[in-house]
Structure 1
């Protein structure tokens, strides 16, 4: 026999399942240890102590309203989380006693999410301790194989459990618990969805490269003559006017940092005989080619050039691009080649851009093939 309390079933030692012939006379060899039933007396089940809510309808109603109140507070806290997420400035600072200066945006999100989860837990615990069934149940062991009568009995027991949980009578608890649990999903899902940031739009299509812009060595700011670029040499370049402290002074720190993130280009001179792409030859100049350094995986700077293999390597996630074949991906998580910057030389022999990028730089995104966003000749 087994007894169940709080979902835990234990064997009743007074009625063990026999593993021998029950009709054989009980015997004990001399010196053998006494049987378990001889050493321990069955303590039986403790008397059931009813709770106030079991006998007093007013106490039960009061407990029900307390549970509903906790679930309602949880739901309101979840809604407050959503409001705070959009309404509070993420850079808002303030002071808390005993802590000092804090980011009030983070405090508001943490408090509302914590309160929402806390009230769900407290409501569930209070519901279980005051209204759910609290009686101990003794269950006789039965064969493992279930017959139709056993399945019917289980169905009746489940039905009894449903009725005894009083969910069919206390719709307020069921509704408030469902609302609290459903709304609590918002603080978990909203940061993931909204945290993806704004849609890129034209942001990744526009750079400071345009026709006639000189390629300047970063960070020295020196212009580059085509005659000075030897085979195998590598230059990290930026557009004229966007290099070093001069860019910060002229355009401001924020614009200079944005340009640094989007406009960086790597310039390499290859043997024209090993270049496989006709477009790569046409957009280069006598084997000199320029490609965006912004990796098409997650935007890390592709800054490692292997002179023997002519491969460009991204140090973040090891995406590898073949410079002899229009910087196509030959290894790693990146999914598309690095965009090429068309170049030529001006009247003084300096390398200049022959136009803007013909495709968006940086990571792939869902709008990149949308017609009309590039704003330049895409052929």
Structure 2
């Protein structure tokens, strides 16, 4: 069966551009996308092609979990922590050859956090952070020639994360200073724009056509953060003496995986349905894992729709959480051993997040949409 090339290429570009792997809106997981900006973008760029893009993400996290068990009393008692997160990733990708591509992502964030426990446990107050986050640079390579392998391909990539974001953003905390006075302190780790460490990423992405308008896609990344802590005080030790080992912030790894199906609805519209699994591990692959972190992971169902016309595309995805887990951290286990009492901290998660992506391609060479339908587009 012959593949409709224009439909397939529209589906690829429309679906993959927007698919930055972002955290599902969990206090445990800070905003992050891979080095190529929209990490699961197809990146099928001809030599000399540019692609500029913007990806907006929003979530509200408020449901508390210990392990996989929700703590509904936090909401009913009005003691939940609420994070509102807005982020904008501005990306530029460039086709060095028809198979080798490079990119830069410049992220910005605007965060709001509302809590009781950070303000003397008597009054609910808000803290804020905003500004530039950690810039990412990366390169990727398609293992097969996109001209001869339109029906499927696999790309591998490497990236670098720079500590450009402020990891010591501060705000006013109430009822915590001398005699209950306000005090300026670093905001919570979950809303810090940066993490304070140099990191590097490894990523992959693939697609494979199944029929004329249907294909399977997938990919993922792992962020390696070798630095153990960034030296920024959390003030958690002021809440309880047993939290002394959580007095400084950790610089944690992060990971994400996605897989799903895409389908072309028309010449310009396509839809997708997939699953994503993402999170912060309990321990880092490289370097120490001390300091305060909220490890966590989220499994989500990820529906999406996209529109593409000529070189312009716009995409909307709304991942919905189906399983949330806040496992025991390294410091939790240390405290449990020291006190002989069970210890597992909690984290607040969102029910869903909103991802909206816009991209525009500036052609400098031959792109996939220009490949003739007769060029090796037969299914076996």
TM-score (norm 2): 0.21
Higher RCO, 1 vs 2 (CA within 8 Å, ≥6 residues apart): 2
Q: Which has the larger radius of gyration?
A: 1
Higher strand share: 2
